DNA sequence: TATTGTTATACTCTATAACTATA
DNA sequence: TATAGTTATAGAGTATAACAATA
């Protein structure tokens, strides 16, 4: 069953049917338009039920996957400033989702780990967004989604890190 | 000449080399990571030289391409609220880049048009970001960029408009 | 001197509520 | 009663500066 939406002219905005021919090839514009959809999915599947903001969720998930990571490395991975990553970690720590562990030899540094509850939440949240995205993006085949993810990763890799 | 960066492990963040296996398939996450790159390109090519914010530029470009569009339709196309689109239009109008024209029959409504300067700026800005993106994303072939744009457009089209 | 992490603070962006005017 | 657009205001998100402690 194809969606009526698939009959949209190629060079018009998804909402409002505005011409976007000159913007069509702009990756930044298309990323922003696509993000409107994924942001809505995230808000519905994770933001509202688990009270996690997008960045907050990503911080939690990356700590979960990278036990004993430092705040500095997290900040670089997400391109957020040091004061802001500290604030996000604060929130997660106060909710009992992550722990700050003192570094054994370097007394300035610290390791970050998820608690048992944090790990469980990270798993549940990831599962929920994934399912939500697959549901919302039904018009894309599994293959198309794979290609899209790989190309996006290639774009992200152009970053100076 | 291939970039040293192309030797990056597939499931690590571009910066910080964190594992991201569980996030890898999340479109929202990959969009955010890719946006870090395109946002930097925009800031350098348009944001700084022309003093235009991303949304501000997009509003200008869409008005340029859709003469006599209404603020309501613009707001829907960009998924921003009515008060915010009004503020962005205010900024553009005060800089002499767009004009608000009273509607002929409906005295509540108005048409939006770019001025001669606004049109010139829209053209120059679009040209600059495009060139900047092509330069920054040199590791993607022209074909890959086309596929990426089309898939992103397909994602955006999943929006309820 | 450079690095890790923090606090304090200001700025930008966005959202909601309440309003005017018109249809 | 619904719509187009505005104003006022609060909240979320991010940035810079200045700092403490350690390497």
Domain range list for chain B:
28-131
pLDDT of the residue at B8 = 62
Tens digits of residue pLDDT in A63-92 = 999 999 999 999 999 999 999 999 999 999
For B80, the token pair is 């921003």
The yes-or-no verdict on residue B47 having pLDDT over 60 is: yes
CA A150/CA B25 separation, integer angstroms: 9
Chain centroid to CA A6: how far? 27
Residues contacting nucleic strand D by the 7 Å CB criterion are A 53-55, 80-84, 87, 105-108; B 70-72, 82-83, 85-87, 89-90, 100, 106, 108-110
Of A20, A41, A77, the CB nearest to B65: A20
Q: What global pTM score does this model have? A: 0.94
Tokens 């569980």 locate to B22
Domain A28-131: which topology?
Arc Repressor Mutant, subunit A (1.10.10)
Closest nucleotide to B39, Cα to C1': D14
Which burial class, exposed, middle or buried, applies to A118 when counting CB atoms under 10 A from its CB (0-12, 13-18, 19+)? buried
Tens digits of residue pLDDT in B48-71 = 999 999 999 999 999 999 999 999
Tokens 């608690």 locate to A115
């Amino acid at each position: 069953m194809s969606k009526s939406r698939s009959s949209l002219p190629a060079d018009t905005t998804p909402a409002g049917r505005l011409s976007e021919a000159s913007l069509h090839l702009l990756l930044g514009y298309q990323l922003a338009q696509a993000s409107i959809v994924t942001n809505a999915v995230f808000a519905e599947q994770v933001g509202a039920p688990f009270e996690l903001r997008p960045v907050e969720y990503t911080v939690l998930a990356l700590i979960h996957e990278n036990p004993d990571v430092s705040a500095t490395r997290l900040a670089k991975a997400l391109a957020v400033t040091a004061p802001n990553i500290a604030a996000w970690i604060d929130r997660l720590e106060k909710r009992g989702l992550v722990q700050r562990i003192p570094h054994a030899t370097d007394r300035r540094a610290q390791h970050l780990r998820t608690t048992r509850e944090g790990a469980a939440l990270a798993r549940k949240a990831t599962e929920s967004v994934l399912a939500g995205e697959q549901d919302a993006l039904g018009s894309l085949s599994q293959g198309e989604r794979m290609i899209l993810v790989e190309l996006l990763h290639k774009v992200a890799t152009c970053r100076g890190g």
